[in-house]
Amino acid sequence: MGGGFSLIELVAVMVIMGILAGAAVVTLSSATDNRATMAAKQLVRDLTFARQRAVATGTPSWIDFDPAPGAETWTVKAEDPVSPATGYADATELTDPATGQNFVQTLGVGTFAGVTLATADFDLFTIVGFDWMGQPWTYDGGSELALVADGTVTISGGHTVTVEAGTGHIFHTP
């Protein structure tokens, strides 16, 4: 009577470990998809906030996306209500009223670990803004232009957030 394990015991342990490993993979991939869904919902909230703020204050609000690998951020900005004629060029970063922190969202870290910002396209630019009527605009580096086609932001996992041209309505498609 040796103190070793029988072949049946070893096979049973290996089968159990295989089942647990499979469950862990499913859980981890599910967690990343949940984070991507949360990021898309956060983006919808931030875009909606910018739009509602522009309507409420009569001062344009903007969201500036940086989809470059390693950056993957969006920043909510607003024009100076005292001197709104200067436009996007003088827009400053807002403070998030919910957190009291700078209104910048970064993907790939913390709550959004494993999530990427694949694209941001607003008539070929990465900036979208809203005027006092909630209508969407983009910025081409020199001037503000009314959004001609629906703008989209794609987040990993196939999540797309759309800003409708003309109306400014915002929605998420998983």
35-173: CATH topology is: minor pseudopilin epsh fold (3.55.40)
Decide: pTM greater than 0.75: yes
Q: 82-108 b/e with 16+ CB inside 10 Å = b?
A: eebeebbeebeebeeeeeeeebbbbbb
**pLDDT at position 22, please?**
63
**pLDDT at position 50, please?**
96
Positive or negative, the CA dihedral 123, 128, 133, 134 is positive
Instruction: Give, for all 174 residues of the chain, the pLDDT tens digit.
Output: 567 778 787 777 787 777 777 665 555 455 567 899 999 999 999 999 999 999 999 999 999 999 998 899 999 999 887 776 678 888 999 998 888 989 999 999 998 999 999 999 999 999 999 999 999 999 998 889 999 999 999 999 889 999 999 999 999 998
Domain boundaries, the chain: 35-173
* Token pair listed for 77: 């900005």
